[in-house]
Amino acid sequence: MTPAAAVDAWLAELAEQRRLSPHTVANYRRDLAKLLALNGDDRLDRLDVHRVRRFVAQMHGGGLSGRSLARLLSAWRGFFAWLGGRGLIQANPCEGLRAPKSPKRLPKALSVDEAARLLEPDSDEDPRLEARDAAMFELIYSSGLRLAELIGLDRDAFDSMLHEGEVRVLGKRAKARLVPVGRQARLALARWSQWRDELAQPGEPALFVGPRGRRISARMVQLRLARRAVRLGLPGHVHPHMLRHSFASHVLQSSGDLRAVQEMLGHASIASTQVYTHLDFQHLASVYDKAHPRAKR
């Protein structure tokens, strides 16, 4: 089996048996393409830990961050484990290798006031597109949805969201979860329900559709949100995941219930959710700096 064929076979197994998302599989493919490019025409069973370490050092010297290298090594390690399970290599050359550490970056979140500004109605926009955009952005902020979860929703989700105030989404590794939908999001969805069938092509199942009446793309959602933020004068680049971060940070600030936030975000590990406690502390520290007389210069 050629290296390229082995990569295709492993990725097909990840997609079909482990049901990883197309986005994750595409990331793995890019990571493995780097491995094959670095290894050249040499056989994979000749790779050893020293050579892989040299590859990592080379990419780190080229500016690749420790976080990116850790993800890349994880993909390589899984691929070599798969090869070893089929007797195609003797040992995993990535076993025990660790990427260089990078400074931990906190996710960026909007303030409560900025989120409110972002979700204000835009009277200059086409009313159909405004209704759709408002429903999408309110839903992400209300329920902490990932972008893939949002665009994966079908029209039949209207009933549970509008009447029961909840929605079932399919998250990473095809794991389903039920999340609440807030009042403002339900109002926005009710407005969108009046326009959706007019814009959608006949037989299109998607809840949110693009200009051609088919399921809206992730890129279109990103562009629409970024454009809205620029028009409103919000600082920095605003993207859909920032609304998810804002949801988590604001719910945690109000409730202090880390477990509940973990469940709503669909995090497998509480460690992934704990990063929002740092955002919460940053918010408290900012209030302290502005309010405490000894904190002022």
β-pair partners for 180? 166
Active site residue 18: no
Cα separation, 261 vs 251, whole angstroms: 7
Cα separation, 34 vs 76, whole angstroms: 10
As given in the structure block, the two tokens for residue 266 are: 């669909």
Vertex 119: Cα angle to 115 and 124 (nearest 5): 140
Catalytic pick among 241, 259, 288, 294: 241
Catalytic pick among 51, 71, 108, 267: 267
Catalytic pick among 28, 132, 141, 146: 146
Catalytic pick among 128, 172, 177, 239: 172
**Residue 169: in which H helix or E strand, if any?**
strand 166-170
Catalytic pick among 215, 244, 245, 250: 244
Active site residue 163: no
Active site residue 146: yes
**Nearest partner of 11 among 27, 2, 97, judged by Cα:** 27
What are the backbone dihedrals phi and psi of residue 154, each rounded to the nearest 5 degrees, phi first? -105, 165
Catalytic pick among 132, 191, 196, 276: 276
Active site residue 288: no
Active site residue 155: no
Output the 3-class SS for 187-249.
HHHHHHHHHHHHHCCCCCCECCECCCCCECCHHHHHHHHHHHHHHCCCCCCCCHHHHHHHHHH
**Residue 170: in which H helix or E strand, if any?**
strand 166-170
Active site residue 241: yes
Q: Which residues contact 13 (CB under 8 A, 6 or more apart)?
A: 82
Catalytically annotated residues: 146, 172, 241, 244, 267, 276
